Structure 1
């Protein structure tokens, strides 16, 4: 008959349940990671929508196809964006890059003015389609749609490391558990049973004392109880043999000594029974104490293992949470930076439209008087007065056209230099006075709506080797913060910027005459998401971005002082990176 190993059968069942449980939990974790990452990407697509909708709407409204294509090419370069489609108000495709998915016309569905979510399981694509709405004279007009697509490939690339970690972790834990169970079952069950079987097979009825179990584990369990029972049976067998031999000897004695020997035997049996009873009682007491101590030790070990497991899990969760918070903070800082640049570009674009409109009017007028002169020449009605009038009008139109185009070119040149610097991390030598003038000139559209003034005191010979984009972002954020927060309810605000060079370090002192801050608000000024205008759309990241750029990007230092009614005072010290 085939022998079935109890330990192997028990081990296989326990490990089967553990394998199924581990596989299920790992699968659920991977699915949850996939869904969470997909949700984050959708959120990033919605944020990107808010950033590009203004510029795309303006480009489609002005029929600037090249600008639409340039913006689309910039977006498709983002790893998260796998496809982009821009259509006009008649659903005609203006540009289509990357992946694409077939959508039902929004106009036929009555959803032309609403955002539409996209989720194509067969093509592995998802994203959002939203309308481009242009506001003109208090009226809104839908000029087209934009579709941003991402794919499951992006999700898998983000969670690939996490999946490998989950699978590796499950495999390591499974291997360790299999090894531990094999060792435990072999030591606690298989080996003791084999030893017990071998000793039972060596039973010698002629010498039962030699067949007793020896060198057994002192631990009290079922196997030790079985061994003790077997030893007790051997003891009884030995005692029986002794009694049988004694009885045989006593039978050969004289009958006259039988009563006396019986009496002595009874006394001896009573004495031994009493001694044996006391001994058994003492052994039972010791056994109970040992069992109690063993239970206490097992409970303590179980509690410590549970505590260690809980601490390990909590520590891992905390590390994961910190990593996610850091990533979220980086994304928020980058979104705030892009939002500021997008708002500035929209205002510059609006400001450029004014000289361009004047230029178009001048060209139209010049074309009209040129056509009239041509008619006069054809009709032989030309005169010196006509030529003089044409020359004077043409000269005025040309001067007006030249001055306005020069103004638009200067504005775009300043904005282009500042915007390019903010979009890359290149280090170069800049003349700080000229660069600050370019920065202020680039945000002139925002200042033009106010009566605020900016005074700059900087030696024109000062130059520094550093990150120009970081300096531009700092100056722009400081000025926008003063206009938005410091000059609230103040019509004539004044900003003073003093720049000096001392011991190869650039010192920027920024002051405004705004409303200032109280002591409590001043302590929280660099805290992320702290804002006094949360109800007006404030994010609380402006001052935090300034501090992050000064300390982490430029390796400098920043101090701030303020009192209510006395404005805000920043002192920024930056090193020349040629000497650091």
Structure 2
């Protein structure tokens, strides 16, 4: 009711304001026409005699009228001869857009029997702000009247509904709040004798409901006790199941950890076998050179003791000794470098020591330990890293990470169809982090494989010994131990690129 009343009041108010606005506009238009007729002769005379002072005085005189906002006098060719506007109209600010309306009158000069001469046009303009200013008092009075009538109606409606609805309902709520359904002696709500009113009808309904509630309380209590007993039994069974499940999960974690450690040891064992095979060649060359050098010394000593040693033979011995010594040194230095790199990488993989190390040198050492597998696969490795770059991190995690990447490329990425297989490792500084990019030009992965590449035990090469733990270990090393992030970009036929963002300084605690 109140909404309808407000809508009707607003509609009537709007219609009344529209009618009054229209009436005032017609009145203003009449004023403008009368003003034009009044100043027509004066403005025409000023134009004919080109009296600028009289023309401006006439324009200013017209602007003195409250209903005029702009006066424009144009010549016979449409050029503006004189124009002025009310300063108050320019200063006003309105919430609503201001519409303008004007009245135009042609100016002519007639002299005796001569034909009239067109002098120009006189245009007097007004706008809606003049009407709104005149309607301001009416608007405020109408709005105040509507607000008072609405407030009175709201007050009357509230008092009426309070008497017929709110008071009875609050009384029933107060009485019903005093009822305890669990009380065996439930006291019903009082009902007055005689003709019942709204309160008595609701009280009678509540009393009937209380009787039904009292009848079901006993059955509900028995059912509740039965349910509590069943809940306790099921809770105990659920606790036992949870304990068994927790034990199974713990065993699964231990088994997974054991598999991960086995994978690390298997990788280290393969590394040992490759390094042992790689060291065998330079050590064998060094041993052969040393044996030949011992034989040469023995022959030289025999000739020397027999007095048969010639100068040419001694010079040849010196040349051969120099070549053998150089060959032995090269072989032993190569073997020493392999042993040093393997020792560093193997020790780091077996420990979790946090220390500072050079990134480029460490990457070279890890690549050198994988030289047998890379050489057998004819894989070229390109490393792009500043030799002065150092980090404080876990070198064992770095070694395991790079080893898993290299093994993954050699095992999965490159096949017989790969032309010039290559691996590129690039490291760049980025503020407090470093960005390590590991990429190969292998066969790449489809999207279905790339989505699952970090899952444990997922592999596409199980028939050749793949365990599915290499990339899972790499992901955990990056996220948990090295506190970094890893992202993969790959597509079939476009190789794989892993982008790692790692902090240069890991916390010591």
**Pick aligned residue for 1:525 from 435, 438, 453:** 453
Change (3 A) 1:290 1:578: closer
- Structure 1 CA distance, aligned partners of 2:368 and 2:222? 81
Deviations 1:419-463 (A, max 9, x none): 111111111111111211111112112212121111111112211
- Structure 2 CA distance, aligned partners of 1:501 and 1:579? 18
- Structure 2 CA distance, aligned partners of 1:519 and 1:292? 61
Contact 1:451/1:491, CA 8 A, preserved across alignment = no
The answer to whether 1:435 aligns with 2:347 is no
Most deviating of 356-365 and 387-396: 387-396
**Pick aligned residue for 1:321 from 248, 251, 256:** 248
- Structure 2 CA distance, aligned partners of 1:529 and 1:578? 30
| 1:534 Cα deviation from its structure 2 partner | 1.4
- Structure 1 CA distance, aligned partners of 2:311 and 2:263? 63
- Greater radius of gyration (CA): 2
Partner secondary structure for residue 514 of structure 1: coil
* Residue 399 (structure 2) aligns with: 472
The answer to whether 1:377 aligns with 2:337 is no
- Structure 1 CA distance, aligned partners of 2:412 and 2:383? 21
* Residue 422 (structure 1) aligns with: 349
Partner secondary structure for residue 340 of structure 1: helix
Change (3 A) 1:560 1:292: closer
* Residue 397 (structure 1) aligns with: 324
* Residue 362 (structure 1) aligns with: 289
Contact 1:429/1:464, CA 8 A, preserved across alignment = yes
Where do residues 22-421 of structure 1 align in structure 2 (5 Å cutoff)? 299-421=226-348
| 1:510 Cα deviation from its structure 2 partner | 1.1
- Structure 2 CA distance, aligned partners of 1:530 and 1:346? 26
Deviations 1:59-80 (A, max 9, x none): xxxxxxxxxxxxxxxxxxxxxx
**How many equivalent pairs are there?**
292
* Residue 485 (structure 1) aligns with: 412
Deviations 1:289-335 (A, max 9, x none): 99999986665444333222221111112211221111111111111
* Residue 571 (structure 1) aligns with: 499
Contact 1:450/1:491, CA 8 A, preserved across alignment = no
- Structure 2 CA distance, aligned partners of 1:298 and 1:475? 64
Contact 2:487/2:500, CA 8 A, preserved across alignment = yes
Change (3 A) 1:351 1:508: same
Q: TM-score, normalised by structure 2?
A: 0.55
Contact 2:437/2:500, CA 8 A, preserved across alignment = yes
**Pick aligned residue for 1:445 from 372, 388, 404:** 372
- Structure 2 CA distance, aligned partners of 1:498 and 1:298? 71
Task: Output the aligned Cα RMSD.
Answer: 2.2
Contact 1:428/1:468, CA 8 A, preserved across alignment = yes
* Residue 29 (structure 1) aligns with: none
* Residue 457 (structure 1) aligns with: 384
- Structure 1 CA distance, aligned partners of 2:506 and 2:225? 66
* Residue 496 (structure 1) aligns with: 424
Q: TM-score, normalised by structure 1?
A: 0.48
Unaligned runs of 5+ residues in structure 1 are 1-288
Change (3 A) 1:456 1:292: closer
The answer to whether 1:534 aligns with 2:462 is yes
Partner secondary structure for residue 487 of structure 2: strand
Unaligned runs of 5+ residues in structure 2 are 1-215
Change (3 A) 1:407 1:479: same
Deviations 1:461-498 (A, max 9, x none): 21111111111111111111011101123352111111
Contact 2:482/2:506, CA 8 A, preserved across alignment = no
- Structure 2 CA distance, aligned partners of 1:299 and 1:450? 73
Contact 1:466/1:577, CA 8 A, preserved across alignment = yes
| 1:523 Cα deviation from its structure 2 partner | 0.6
Contact 1:531/1:539, CA 8 A, preserved across alignment = yes
Change (3 A) 1:578 1:477: closer
